[in-house]
Amino acid sequence: MRAAAFLVVLLTIAWFPVVAADNHSESTIITVDSTNLRFSPSSVTINETESVRFFWDGQFLPHNAVEENGVFDSGDTESDEDYTFVFIKGINGTFSYYCEPHRSLGMVGTITVNPIEVSNETNETGNETMNNDMDSDDMPFIPAQFTLITILFAVAIFRSETN
């Protein structure tokens, strides 16, 4: 009976998955310019929670993107690259990066990451409240069908074990 109950729970989870919050992260794309020895753009400014995507395809020379202090590293040099780094909340400042084999030739760049400002608002009682700009669409949710089936299943198991 317990094996059947476990199987039903697994099928229920697979059929009605818990949906995670969307990151809504914006991505800035950095490529290699036509000279094959420069990042394009070489300097970008983004905000925390946004990402930078290093993307190039079919380059004559292989490249990579390495941050000077080890914050990110796209790995070995490649002629085709698709590497994304997300600057999560708390990772901000100016980050210098380079292509390992072409650094001395000027293949360098900077990413400036601005911190996300959390504003304070005053509620109706005059107390300050934190506003983190999160709306209900950003919150994870569980479909109602999943919740209902789980509750019914738990009741059925409880009744069968008490009889």
- For 101-151, the pLDDT digits (tens) are 999 999 999 999 999 986 655 555 555 555 544 444 444 445 666 666 777
The pLDDT value given to residue 154:
75
Residue with tokens 């914006």: 26
Per residue in 30-66, pLDDT tens?
999 988 899 999 999 999 999 999 999 999 999 999 9
- Domain 27-119: top CATH class: mainly beta
pLDDT band of 26, cuts 50, 70, 90: confident
Q: What share of the chain is helix, strand, coil (3-state, %, to 5)?
A: 25, 35, 40
- Candidate from 46-50, 77-81, 145-149, 154-158 with smallest mean pLDDT: 145-149
Radius of gyration of the chain from Cα atoms?
24
* Amino acid letter for position 105: L
The confidence band for 23, taking pLDDT boundaries of 50, 70 and 90, is very low
d(CA 106, CA 39): 9
pLDDT confidence of residue 11: 47
Structure-block tokens of residue 94: 């100016």
- CA neighbours closer than 13 Å in the CB half-sphere of residue 110: 7
pLDDT at position 128, please? 53
Question: Is a pLDDT exceeding 50 seen at residue 155?
Answer: yes
